[in-house]
Structures are given as C-alpha cells and as structure tokens.
Amino acid sequence: MLLAVAFAVSFFFAMNIGASGAAAAMGVAYGSGAIQRKSIALLLCGLGVFLGSLGGGEVVKTIGSGIIPSSILTIKIVTIILAASTISLFAANMIGIPLSTSEITVGAVVGAGMAYQTLYLSKLLFIVSIWIIIPVIAFTFTFIVGKWFLRLKEKHPYIEQGMWKKSLMSLLIVTGFFEAFSAGMNNVANAVGPLVGANLISVNSGTFFGGLFVALGAVLLGGRVLETNGKKIIHFSPFEGCAISGTGAILVILSSLFGLPVPLTQITTSAIIGIGTAKTGTYIWQKRIVIQLLKVWVVSPIFSLVIAYSLVKLLLDSDIYTFIAIFSVFLSTLGIISLKKTVTEEKRSLHEHGEGI
C-alpha cells in the first residue's frame, strides 16, 4: 500500500514539475508572440520535456544518493520527501509562481537527512553555490547581449522586421523547445530520484515514466506559469526571446551532464530580468512580480526542508515535542508578519489623517 502511495505522490509531483519548471521554458516564445496559442506552446513543451527526460540519468543519481546516503531511503522516507516537495510546489502553482523544483526537492532531501543527522555536506554546499552562480551568469550574459542589441538596433532599426522577424520567430520556437528539452533532462530527477535511490525503480524506467508525467503536467497544468513568465514580467522582441531561451537551455544542459540539479525557472527568470534591466534600467526591479519571485525563491527550499524534517520527526520518530516546537515557530512567524502589517497600516493611517488611536 505504501509503495503505491510513494509512486502516486512521485507522479503527481512530476505533473506539478511540468506545470512549474517545464512550462516556464516556453514562456518566452509565448510572451514574444512567436507562438500565438497557449495550447500549442504547452504541447511543444510537453514533447520537449519528455525527450529531454530520457537523458536525465546523472541528475537522478545525484538526487537519489548524492546528498544523503541511499541506505536511509526507505519507502516511508521517500514518501515523506516527495510529499514535502509536492506540497511546496502545488502551493506555488496555485498562485502562478514559477518555482524551482530542484530547490524544493533538495530542501526536502536535506530535511530528511537532518532528521537522521546524516548529510554529504560538501556536495550540498557545492550544489547551493551553483544555484547562486548560474542565475548570476544568466543575468549578466543577457544584460550584455541586451545592451549590444539596443546599440545594433540604433544603427539598423529594421533588423527585426520583414524576413528577419520571421526568421527570428522561427529560431525562438526552436530555442524554446531546446529549453523545454533541458527542463526534462534536469527536472525529472526531482520526481523519481528518491525512488531510484531507494531501489524502488531503475534509472531508465524512472526517467521514462517520470518524463511522461512531467510532460502531462506541462500540457494540463502549465497555463498560469506560462502567463507569468511570458506576459507579466516584461514583453520581449524575438531576438531577446532567443537570447533568454538559448541561455537557459545551454546552462541547464551543461549542468545536467555533470549531474547537478539546477533551478531552471530561476535561470530563465534571471535571464528575463537581465534583458529587462538592459532595456529599462532598474525600473523592472520595482515591479511587484519580480519582488514576489525573489521572495519565493528564498523561502521555498527552507519551507520544504522544514516540512520534511517535521514529518520524519512526527510520523517516524513519534517526536511530538519537536513537531510542536516547529509549529510554534511557524505560528509566531505568521503573527510577526501580521503585526508588522498592522503597524504599517496604522502608521499610514496616522500619516494620512493625522489621528492616533
């Protein structure tokens, strides 16, 4: 029974991965108008991510046994890791935020490892450092390309019109598909890696069935994230879209070849912000959606870590006191946030109306 639950949670998680990370890969092509219909963008994304997942074996091994010893990955632990990751990702999908599935999965794995006080710390620190470095590379590269292209358009104002525009639109669809391929190659490991680490499924079968459900999630559940990445941050020209998708695809595929789980959505969004900064300066950083994305990126791995750690302590160790302590911290954090909002609103009211209590 528990084995069936573990697989069910894994495949449901895979569908949410498709909705979040994989669907965001085609957001640029959709946002720039290269693909007019959302359904076509999602279908292309699903095909690309499935094909890419077939080459994701190295990342599967890292998630399965590269962060914590595979010896502690029982069916119960695997189910808890996948459940913690799924809860975090499902919540983000409901509000349309492109969340890094690699971050929340690694966070959940680390939470389980912390509960048993066993982690490959050097490997974990290396992965986290890559999470910081690669989005910076994506931002820097697209910022430079964006500035160069602006100067090029000043000299040749018709470069994105006529046949040039049609060619760039076609190239943008290709790079978007290429990025979806990279999403499958890297992100399918997040859903099936724990199953493989516990020897519940082989690497080849895991990547096949995981890729199938990631693709299904992209097609059926990816609409909101597609809108967020494609339309709500900034509008793109065809060339800018090619730069964003191409940058994300290359960085993610290179990382996958070395077995590194990396945040595709953060890489893509960082590239989008790099282009936006080149065009509008710091104005893009003032947009509420960007601030919201940055906050979610920081909170999400910690959130899944705490959930996994709490579930292990409560369900497997019967440590109710640790669970109560964590829950109390959670409630106090919510209280502090609520109190801060109340104080801010009271100060605003006092400033506007000149009245106190």
State whether 7 and 79 are in the same domain.
yes
State whether 214 and 349 are in the same domain.
no
pLDDT at 357: 47
State whether 229 and 329 are in the same domain.
no
Q: How far is CA 205 from CA 79, 200, 324, 348, in A?
A: 18, 10, 39, 58
Contact yes or no for 226/30 (Cβ under 8 A):
yes
pLDDT at 288: 65
Contact yes or no for 182/12 (Cβ under 8 A):
no
Structural domain of residue 306, as residue ranges?
Answer: 2-318
Evaluate if residue 266 carries a pLDDT over 50: yes
Window from 7-16, 186-195, 265-274, 337-346 with minimum mean pLDDT: 337-346
State whether 107 and 35 are in the same domain.
yes
Evaluate if residue 212 carries a pLDDT over 90: yes
pLDDT at 356: 46
- Structure tokens, 308: 């996994």
Highest-pLDDT range among 71-80, 87-96, 157-166, 335-344: 71-80
pTM of this prediction exceeds 0.85 = no
State whether 259 and 354 are in the same domain.
no
The rounded mean pLDDT for the chain is 82
User: How does residue 240 score in pLDDT terms, banded at 50, 70 and 90?
Assistant: confident
Evaluate if residue 140 carries a pLDDT over 80: yes
Q: How far is CA 273 from CA 42, 139, 223, 268, 331, in A?
A: 23, 7, 21, 9, 34
- Nearest to 247, CA basis, from 87, 25, 90: 25
State whether 266 and 346 are in the same domain.
no
Contact yes or no for 75/2 (Cβ under 8 A):
yes
State whether 43 and 83 are in the same domain.
yes
Contact yes or no for 135/256 (Cβ under 8 A):
no
State whether 182 and 81 are in the same domain.
yes
- Structure tokens, 106: 């690694």
State whether 342 and 194 are in the same domain.
no
User: How does residue 235 score in pLDDT terms, banded at 50, 70 and 90?
Assistant: low
Q: How far is CA 67 from CA 49, 97, 110, 257, 307, in A?
A: 25, 27, 7, 17, 18
Positive or negative: CA dihedral 69, 72, 74, 76: negative
pLDDT at 145: 92
* Residue pLDDT, tens place only, 186-195: 988 888 998 9
Angle between helices 288-311 and 75-94 (to 10 degrees): 160
Residue 235 per-residue DSSP state = -
Contact yes or no for 186/268 (Cβ under 8 A):
no
Please report, rounded to a whole number, the percentage of residues in the chain having pLDDT higher than 90: 17
State whether 34 and 65 are in the same domain.
yes
Highest-pLDDT range among 275-279, 281-285, 334-338: 275-279
* Residue pLDDT, tens place only, 283-326: 666 666 666 666 767 777 888 888 888 888 888 887 787 777 77
- Report how many domains make up the chain: 2
Evaluate if residue 274 carries a pLDDT over 60: yes
**How open is the CA angle 188-126-114, to the nearest 5 degrees?**
80
* Residue pLDDT, tens place only, 30-76: 877 778 888 888 899 899 999 999 888 899 988 888 898 888 888 88
* CB atoms closer than 10 angstroms to residue 271: 30
The DSSP secondary structure of 168-233, one letter per residue, reads: HHHHHHHHHHHHHHHHHHHHHHHHHHHHHHTTSS-HHHHHHHHHHHHHHHHHHH-HHHHHIIIIIS
Q: How far apart are CA 187 and CA 27, in angstroms?
A: 17
Contact yes or no for 226/283 (Cβ under 8 A):
no
Evaluate if residue 243 carries a pLDDT over 70: yes
Residue 72 per-residue DSSP state = G
Q: How far apart are CA 180 and CA 172, in angstroms?
A: 12
pLDDT at 143: 94
State whether 250 and 326 are in the same domain.
no
User: How does residue 334 score in pLDDT terms, banded at 50, 70 and 90?
Assistant: low
Residues 6+ apart with CB under 8 A from 31: 229, 230, 231, 235, 236, 241
State whether 357 and 254 are in the same domain.
no
Maximum pairwise Cα distance, the chain: 70
